[in-house]
């Protein structure tokens, strides 16, 4: 007799948690989509930026800046979060750039660092070839060949044939919405909500 109310209450909690997660990721996808209205030139230059909540000039950016700006619109500062985690766990972050210490101007703007951060925060999801596994607000990372990596956010819009979710990213033409989920080799799939 006491089991039924307990199970119903537990189901209500689970449904509420799933809806809250869905709402957050819908907001993340929506915030990323608004970025496509801004005119941004692809610019991989090193910038000295303020900390926390620093950003490169608003008319410049790379792929990681799309993710950083989308989260920032929801009050989440990946510059600060990545810097703090990297400072505490520097040895497990990639050493691709020959750094001996953190650099709060650039660390969060590097795809391998974001991938490490999302994995550490238990945000890693399976990589599949099924479009339905990539939900709005998910983060996808690709290898473009060699050591070149890329990152984008899954939008809440679909391809013309309604089979694939579109991606919000900046691969050279500014912050755009594009049908490119499976165009490159996927090396990371994440769903991160602090």
CATH architecture of 3-190: Alpha-Beta Complex (3.90)
Could you count the other beta carbons within 10 Å of the beta carbon of residue 48? 11
Measured CA to CA in angstroms, residue 99 lies from 37, 77, 172 at distances of 35, 22, 26
pTM score, two decimals? 0.89
Q: Which tokens hold the place of 57?
A: 């000039």
Q: What is the CA radius of gyration of the chain?
A: 18
CA distance 40 to 136: 23
Question: How far is residue 64's CA from residue 54's CA, in Å, rounded to a whole number?
Answer: 13
Instruction: Note the pLDDT tens digit of each residue in 144-173.
Output: 999 999 999 999 999 999 999 999 999 999
Kindly report, residue by residue over 28-72, the tens digit of the pLDDT: 999 999 999 999 999 999 999 999 999 999 999 999 999 999 999
For 75-119, the pLDDT digits (tens) are 999 999 999 999 999 999 999 998 899 999 999 999 999 999 999
């Amino acid at each position: 007799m006491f089991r039924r109310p307990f199970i119903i209450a537990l189901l209500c909690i689970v449904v509420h948690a799933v809806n809250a997660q869905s709402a957050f990721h819908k907001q993340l996808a929506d915030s990323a989509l608004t970025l496509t209205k801004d005119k941004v030139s692809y610019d991989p230059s090193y910038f000295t930026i303020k900390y926390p909540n620093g950003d490169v000039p608003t008319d410049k950016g790379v792929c990681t800046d799309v993710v950083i700006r989308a989260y920032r619109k929801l009050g989440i500062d990946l510059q600060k979060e990545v810097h703090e985690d990297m400072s505490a766990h520097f040895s497990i972050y990639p050493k691709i750039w020959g750094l001996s210490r953190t650099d709060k101007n650039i660390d969060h703007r590097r795809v391998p660092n974001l991938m490490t951060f999302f994995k550490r925060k238990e945000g890693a999801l399976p990589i599949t070839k099924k479009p339905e596994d990539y939900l709005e607000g998910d983060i996808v990372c690709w290898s473009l060949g060699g050591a070149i990596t890329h990152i984008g956010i899954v939008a809440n819009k679909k391809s013309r044939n309604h089979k694939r979710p579109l991606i919000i990213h900046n691969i050279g033409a500014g912050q755009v919405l594009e049908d490119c989920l499976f165009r490159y080799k996927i090396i990371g799939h994440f769903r991160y909500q602090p």
